[in-house]
Structure 1
Amino acid sequence: MPTLAGAPSVISSLVPYGQGRGRGLGAEELGVHGEQMDRLVSLGLPTVVGITVPVSRARQLTDPALAREAVDLVEELTGRRVGSTDRPLLLRLVPSTPVAATGVPPDLPALGVCPANARALAELIGREHQLHDVWTTVLAVVAVDALDVDADDVDDVLTDTADGDRAPALLDLVARTGSAPFPDDPAEQLALAARALLHRWDSPRGRRARRAQGLPDDLGLALHVQALHVGPWERSGHGTASSRDPGTGAPRPHGTFHRGVSRRSTSGEGEPLSALPEGTDLLRHALATLENHLRAVATVTFELRDGKLALLSAAALPHPGARAGLRLAVDLATAGTIDRATAVRAVRPAAVQELLHAQLRLTGAERELARGLAASPGAASGVVALSAERALELSGDGVPVVLVSTETTPADVPALVASAAVVTSAGGLASHAAVVARGTGTPAVCGVAELCIDRDAGTVTAHGHTVREGERVTVDGRAGTVYLGELDVRPAEPSAELDTLLSWADAERTLGVRANADNAAEAEAALRLGAEGIGLCRTEHQFLGDRLPVVRRFLLAPDEDAHRLALDALTAAQQADFTALLQVTGDRPVTVRLLDAPLHEFLPHDEVYADPAHARRAAQLREVNPMLGLRGVRLALLEDDLYAAQAEALFSAWVTVAAAGTRPRLEVMVPMVSIPQELELAIGQVRRAADRVERTTGVRVPYQVGSMVETPRAALLADRLAEHADFLSFGTNDLTQMTFGFSRDDVESRLLAHYVGEGLLTASPFAEFDADGVGALVAIAVQKARAVRPDIKLGLCGEHGGDAVSVGRLAALGLDYVSCSPQRVPVARLAAAHAALQDTAEERAQDRAQDRAQAAP
């Protein structure tokens, strides 16, 4: 194993903890553990006394002469004698590798125990069986891997002998069948222990483990000889601790404490850290120091002997939990240990989502009913309702409900809003149920293909489990799992630290973040979560539930009089909704998308019409492929008063709120454009509405008009759209569907899961923005639109705007803003800051590279 650059050519065989760095040694020689202990000593923290035998010298420890030097050095450093029953001291042999690895041989504790001192040491500890446990561990490993005793014979002794008799039985076995008896001398024991660990490391099993991790076969092993003080049971022990409470993130030690001598396997749950004989003050100070040094939640293993704390290891906790990681980042930045940008980078966007939604407390004993697509995060328990009517009835009685359905329609929206969670057997991440659930913050699992729903029998069946309507299930929308029965749900607990961090993120990001909100309640929630405006108001969503008959009367009107009456009712309803929405939004931008819904969502195929004229009209409007049929601007060009009526309602609402001093920045958006002339004609309808409002009120309403880009043709003709539009907004749900040729409600639960499993895709393109295909179209559109109109505003209003990975990719394309469901706004804010900070870091790296190139001769 090569030494560090600048290291001395001659490496000492024995390096006391804390001296490795001063001798020019790093992990290549000291091993991960040795380097870690050097760090602890340099920080002035209380550490176990120990010495490292470097990687290149580890085999020398099998020589009893060097082992004797190691024992003598430990005794000199501690002022105690190994194996003595007066102020007793034992040794522990710890192996470590130059890089983090699994399959490393186990620590060997309690070297120095022998028949002459075992009883006295056991009496001092106060637990004879525990000393025998650790002694037996050493004897078993050394017998097999250093003294050539048959492993089966050792297993027989361990299996057939009572606990207290195992050590004597192993000593006898070694004496009878081993290459030499087990020695009493601590130095000879240490040499044999080193031989045993190196033998295990060099074994075929050890080599296979290294190959599986991509590590070289000849990867070396450092050996560490640690002092193991023996003390009375009531004042000694060992444990693990982290620096933060995982539930609250508060800076206080969290972990467990076990009395007695530390060993590899510890039975029982241990005691809380409050049981530490000398309290947690020393531990709290050590953990706080480590946090400042590591800039991460710290975790340590430690020993306590006669009231003295000694750290055995310390590292950054790999998965500290959302609350702990967030609070640490804010605390470190507030204290000036790190800057705010570093704090922002330290918190994962996914952690923000955990804090904003209820989470399950899983124990491992849960019974799973089925899995599907994680359509809307959060968790909830409730009784199963198999129809919207039953869901409304139960929720009206105060019963939490989980609506279980094949799919949902606009008529089901009141039930969706009233339910604690929703589960569908069909549909994907952009299905009706998923979109509504995300907008309302309701946990949802969609596309559960194995779910068999029998409404006549009142049952739901999957994987051999049957749940009856009225029985309880629990939904985990973040994981896409449905469980049997009622589970423990921890409610969402946003904190002041989250608000602080997100405010710092806002200062770093350049990408705007808006929300998709269709009504005043959703807008209010979005603004509370930090949205800078409304990036998508889907006007068709204002006709869900009780409002559905209003738009149906318009679509099914059999004559001109009925058509005009229906349009007047639609306009009045929209004006009331727009007024409420604009009052909440204030002076922020509001992008209102004119009607864009496939007709089958308003005219279900199983509807029974009382009026024969309505039935005939519905039959005329029925489509084979409604997602590509008469929707968006296409319907408006056939019903040329539709968009004008909607725009008039919007402008009239603006006049109302402006009279009270509020001036929202209106952006009227035309959907489903593929032909530039479609946009031009629709803009003409909007202008006529503005003229009518001005004639009626005397107020010229300021507004911008723009186009959705949700078809590949629109993306490729973005320069021609930009000749008419003030802004463009990419609807990546439909753009993804059309680019791939995927029906999003049909392929997601089955085909895309298979594609991801087979490696054809890394993720569903409806969940994670496709940088290669859809991204190429967006890049072309951005370049073309800005070539014609450099100041054109470019945004995105698909659900990709709330996905952290997607936000990073979208920011790189040069968009001005993204818009997503209200509950995902904080995730988008943090992800946008990460993207900006990543760009800044890359720019700095490029600048440094250029400086180096210019300085080169």
Structure 2
Amino acid sequence: MDELISLGLPTVAGLTVPVADAESLTDPDLAMAAVELLQQLAGRRLAHGERPMLVRLTASAPVPVAGLPPDLPVVGLAPHNRDAVMKVIARDRVLHEVWGTMLRSIGEHGLGVAGAAMDDLMFDVTDPCEQVPALLELIAAEAQAPFPDDPAGQLAVAARAMLARWQTPRAKRARRTQKLPADLPLALHVQALVLGPWDLSGFGTATSRDPETGAFRPTGTFYRGVRRSAPRPPRPEDLSAVPGGAGLLESALLTLEQHFAAPAALDFELRDGELALLSARPERAAGLAAVRLAVDLVNAGARAERAAVRQVRPADVQELLHPQLRLTGTETELVRGLPASAGAACGEMVLSSDAAVSRAAEGVPVVLVATETTPADLPGLLASAGVITAAGGLASHAAVVARGVGVPAVCGAGGLRIDAASGTATAGDRTLCEGDMVALDGRTGAVYTGQVEISAARPPRELETVLGWADTLRKLGVRANADTGRDARTAVELGAEGIGLCRTEHQFLGERLPLIRRVILAADPEAERRALDALAEAQREDFRELLRGTGSRPVTVRLLDAPMHEFLPAPGRAGDAEAEERAEELREANPMLGVRGVRLALLHDRLYPAQAEALFGAWLDVRAEGVEPELEVMIPLVSLPEELTAAARQVRAAAEAVAARAGIDVSAVPYRIGSMVETPRAALLAGELARTAQFLSFGTNDLTQLTYGFSRDDVERRVLEPYVAGGLLAASPFERLDADGVGALIEIAVQRARAVRPDIKLGLCGEHGGDPASIELCDRLGLDYVSCSPGRVPVARLAAAQATCAAQEGRTP
């Protein structure tokens, strides 16, 4: 109330008796002084005049607590003066009921009448007009003292009743369940209750922001009559029913928003068309409201742009960029997994990639449900509205692809059992058949049965305003992980400054999988050459689209880096006996640590040159169109500096060959050669790598896996969830970058690389590049940029700005 008064807002006239003196209000002499002071403050006498005044007694505690004694709102009615009472009651249709409820409470807790006797009376006498005289008679017959006629006496006994009710065993038990002291004290508030005509009076609650749009608009509920705690609450109406309209509340709510720097909520009364505030409080801004409020406060001069950027949470931005389930609370949850890709989807359950493609072609939204996915499932993933896997984690094939293409995904739903033969999926005692409706929330990991309504993504124009302010503040660059021209265009539209990771193996998924498979399974050098020519031709086409989508910005292309098992055919599917034998020879016990990355390239020494020639040729193609991206060729999974030296030699030779065929000097093709730091040894030898590498990018998915010794596809559900629940880990290290282990390796690598090459460019391109806490760590470690999936670029832009502000202010974001 002090704040409301200091802000010049209209308030109910009243006075507060603080906790130390609350008992004093039970003294009739002091109660009389309170009544006289209240009459002076309000400028009215009790129960007199055209707008008669009564007294309302309310209570508050020093801390938030449920179970405060209900208001006693009509103190001051004189029972002996029936004519005066009826004149007052005529102002409000429900005062009889309110008066009866107040008498019931005062009789039991203030005057010693048995509660059971009063309950019996109110049960037998249901007409409120008859209850009041009957209650007064019961009190006169059984109370320790009669109900007082004078307002001061009534106020004193009301205070006694309220304090006594607070000390009942039931009230003390309620406080103990809230982990509050049983002797928690009360303050009492004596307020003026000015009555007015029914059609111009009432009470209600209002908030400043529309819950649907986040725009400034008074929203809430209005009730006719006197504010009260009654068995039969009044019928609610919306604020359009307020006499004078909701506009009466706009000025107060706007003042409070600028004061709180948050959406404001208030309780108000309206008496004869005059507004008075009873209380006000800030509310947490989220989603649309958070972003629009931040811009409104800056436009009003109440906040600086820097403060507005700090005010919006990255989670609010994430919420606005993806569709959300519109939950009603009646949904049936089928299973819960890991939130692998943000957004929401609802559709028919399909259990194979082929079924997803077929049903989607008919215009039916589908959700692909699988134990796990492989590169061959890419067409189904692209055709689906969402994907659910029983196995795998946040860095599994399904999760990475889904994030890359913007498909909502839930992975690692371990309670799900899929039987493709019978066309069913079972979780607990519920079994769904292919074609049944399912819905998933990629933000929480929840999967529901049946149809669930989807709210479309609604990023407001104010979001780009906030992100523009963020861009002027942040030190970290923000790039995107993108494998196709479509992904690159999406990323650039969302504010990416370039592409930080193009995973070329993703360009061989689906129908192009045979291209790389023919290289690996080639029976002789000539067969390998033909396979590489076909591969290079396809890659040149893909690279052209990628470079066009990126524009004249940096683009980091990682040469082939995939575990062998993602490319090999299933047993019996190689095509002929010789190919089957070669495939069997290439199968590995631990493919994530086998022949992948630079190791595969050095065993197939034409592989990386073919990819590099395709990239440089594509660059020449788009240069002719006026687009000149800055090429960065990245060698993956390096552990030995000699590996990088050998691969870099292959890339340079490819550049020279392309330049010679084009009749230009090789210096006309701008490119850098760098390495992906995915192994602890590479991090420790970053200084040696920097003698060859012009940039280093930390692949924190593999670096985390190898630092911990975790198999990321196996441990997320079975190990990491129990570890987090048991307090062994604060969060999954695949979600939030591990500062103590992986972060320490990155810090060592940064120092050693810059000691050799001070101008080396250092970035991060693992999934952590879109996590706000990980971005803050990257800012502290002095990286130049982070790279994340396209849909997380706006989140990264905001988080990077908040990390910079926090570092400058010496505090945590």
What's the TM-score, normalizing by structure 2? 0.94
List per-residue Cα deviations over 1:279-328 (Å, max 9, x = no partner).
1222111111222222221111111111111111112113x331112111
Q: Give distance in 1, aligned partners of 2:104 and 2:648.
A: 85
**Number of the residue aligned with 2:45:** 81
Once the two structures are TM-superposed, the CA of residue 241 in structure 1 deviates from its matched residue by: 0.9
Corresponding residue SS for 1:475: strand
Which letter maps to 1:307? G
- Equivalent of residue 430 in structure 1, options 395, 403, 419: 395
Q: Give distance in 2, aligned partners of 1:155 and 1:754.
A: 52
**Number of the residue aligned with 1:313:** 279
Once the two structures are TM-superposed, the CA of residue 187 in structure 1 deviates from its matched residue by: 2.0
Corresponding residue SS for 2:717: helix
List per-residue Cα deviations over 1:672-718 (Å, max 9, x = no partner).
11222221221121112112112222241221111111122222222
1:357-396 paired onto structure 2 within 5 Å: 357-396=322-361
- Equivalent of residue 733 in structure 1, options 690, 701, 717: 701
List per-residue Cα deviations over 1:708-746 (Å, max 9, x = no partner).
111222222222222221111111111111222221111
List per-residue Cα deviations over 1:163-188 (Å, max 9, x = no partner).
63665565555555544344343322
Which letter maps to 2:500? G
> Would you say 1:412 and 2:359 are equivalent positions?
no
Partners of 2:388 and 2:409 within 8 A in 1:
yes
Q: Taking structure 1 as reference, are residues 153 and 826 closer, same or farther at Cα in structure 2, changes over 3 Å only? A: farther
1:571-720 paired onto structure 2 within 5 Å: 571-606=536-571, 608-697=573-662, 698-700=664-666, 701-720=669-688
Once the two structures are TM-superposed, the CA of residue 814 in structure 1 deviates from its matched residue by: 1.2
1:151-166 paired onto structure 2 within 5 Å: 162=126, 164=128
- Equivalent of residue 456 in structure 2, options 470, 475, 491: 491
> Would you say 1:777 and 2:742 are equivalent positions?
no
Which letter maps to 2:29? A
Partners of 1:246 and 1:321 within 8 A in 2:
no
> Would you say 1:827 and 2:795 are equivalent positions?
yes
Q: Taking structure 1 as reference, are residues 612 and 268 closer, same or farther at Cα in structure 2, changes over 3 Å only? A: farther
Q: Give distance in 1, aligned partners of 2:759 and 2:577.
A: 53
Q: Give distance in 1, aligned partners of 2:23 and 2:166.
A: 12
**Number of the residue aligned with 2:779:** 811
**Number of the residue aligned with 1:747:** 715
RMSD: 2.4
Q: Taking structure 1 as reference, are residues 163 and 651 closer, same or farther at Cα in structure 2, changes over 3 Å only? A: farther
**Number of the residue aligned with 1:721:** 689
Q: Which segment drifts farther, 213-222 or 402-411? A: 213-222
Once the two structures are TM-superposed, the CA of residue 656 in structure 1 deviates from its matched residue by: 1.6
**Number of the residue aligned with 1:787:** 755
Corresponding residue SS for 1:93: strand
**Number of the residue aligned with 2:267:** 301
**Number of the residue aligned with 1:840:** 808
- Equivalent of residue 69 in structure 1, options 33, 42, 50: 33
**Number of the residue aligned with 2:92:** 125
Corresponding residue SS for 1:526: helix
Q: Which segment drifts farther, 759-768 or 88-97? A: 88-97
Q: Which segment drifts farther, 98-107 or 479-488? A: 98-107
Q: Taking structure 1 as reference, are residues 435 and 160 closer, same or farther at Cα in structure 2, changes over 3 Å only? A: farther
- Equivalent of residue 188 in structure 2, options 223, 232, 248: 223
Q: Which segment drifts farther, 581-590 or 505-514? A: 581-590
Q: Give distance in 1, aligned partners of 2:736 and 2:596.
A: 26
Which letter maps to 1:397? E
1:269-308 paired onto structure 2 within 5 Å: 270-308=236-274
Once the two structures are TM-superposed, the CA of residue 768 in structure 1 deviates from its matched residue by: 1.6
Corresponding residue SS for 1:473: strand
**Number of the residue aligned with 1:459:** 424
Q: Taking structure 1 as reference, are residues 282 and 423 closer, same or farther at Cα in structure 2, changes over 3 Å only? A: same
Once the two structures are TM-superposed, the CA of residue 341 in structure 1 deviates from its matched residue by: 0.6
What's the TM-score, normalizing by structure 1? 0.89
Q: Give distance in 2, aligned partners of 1:161 and 1:643.
A: 93
Q: Give distance in 2, aligned partners of 1:647 and 1:603.
A: 23
**Count of residue pairs the alignment pairs up:** 805
Q: Taking structure 1 as reference, are residues 127 and 152 closer, same or farther at Cα in structure 2, changes over 3 Å only? A: closer
**Number of the residue aligned with 1:11:** none
Percent identity over paired residues:
60
Q: Taking structure 1 as reference, are residues 520 and 309 closer, same or farther at Cα in structure 2, changes over 3 Å only? A: same
Q: Give distance in 2, aligned partners of 1:745 and 1:512.
A: 30
**Number of the residue aligned with 1:139:** 103
Q: Give distance in 2, aligned partners of 1:567 and 1:336.
A: 62
**Number of the residue aligned with 1:249:** 214
Partners of 2:569 and 2:583 within 8 A in 1:
no
**Number of the residue aligned with 1:17:** none
Which letter maps to 1:784? R
Q: Give distance in 2, aligned partners of 1:389 and 1:754.
A: 36
Q: Taking structure 1 as reference, are residues 240 and 540 closer, same or farther at Cα in structure 2, changes over 3 Å only? A: same
Q: Give distance in 1, aligned partners of 2:298 and 2:108.
A: 53
Which letter maps to 2:710? F
Corresponding residue SS for 2:676: strand
**Number of the residue aligned with 2:509:** 544
- Equivalent of residue 190 in structure 1, options 144, 149, 155: 155
Corresponding residue SS for 2:432: strand
Q: Taking structure 1 as reference, are residues 811 and 214 closer, same or farther at Cα in structure 2, changes over 3 Å only? A: farther
> Would you say 1:43 and 2:43 are equivalent positions?
no
Q: Give distance in 2, aligned partners of 1:674 and 1:206.
A: 67
Which letter maps to 2:369? V
Corresponding residue SS for 2:254: helix
Q: Give distance in 2, aligned partners of 1:169 and 1:637.
A: 99
**Number of the residue aligned with 1:27:** none
Partners of 2:408 and 2:442 within 8 A in 1:
yes
List per-residue Cα deviations over 1:344-393 (Å, max 9, x = no partner).
11111110111111112222112211111111111121111111111101
**Number of the residue aligned with 1:58:** 22
Q: Give distance in 2, aligned partners of 1:90 and 1:53.
A: 18
Partners of 2:340 and 2:443 within 8 A in 1:
yes
Q: Give distance in 2, aligned partners of 1:588 and 1:152.
A: 80
Once the two structures are TM-superposed, the CA of residue 88 in structure 1 deviates from its matched residue by: 2.5
Once the two structures are TM-superposed, the CA of residue 83 in structure 1 deviates from its matched residue by: 4.3
- Equivalent of residue 75 in structure 2, options 87, 111, 122: 111
Q: Which segment drifts farther, 54-63 or 239-248? A: 54-63
Once the two structures are TM-superposed, the CA of residue 247 in structure 1 deviates from its matched residue by: 1.5
Q: Give distance in 2, aligned partners of 1:145 and 1:719.
A: 80
List per-residue Cα deviations over 1:9-36 (Å, max 9, x = no partner).
xxxxxxxxxxxxxxxxxxxxxxxxxxxx
Q: Give distance in 1, aligned partners of 2:66 and 2:727.
A: 27
Corresponding residue SS for 1:300: strand
Q: Which runs of 5+ in 1 are unaligned?
A: 1-36, 846-857
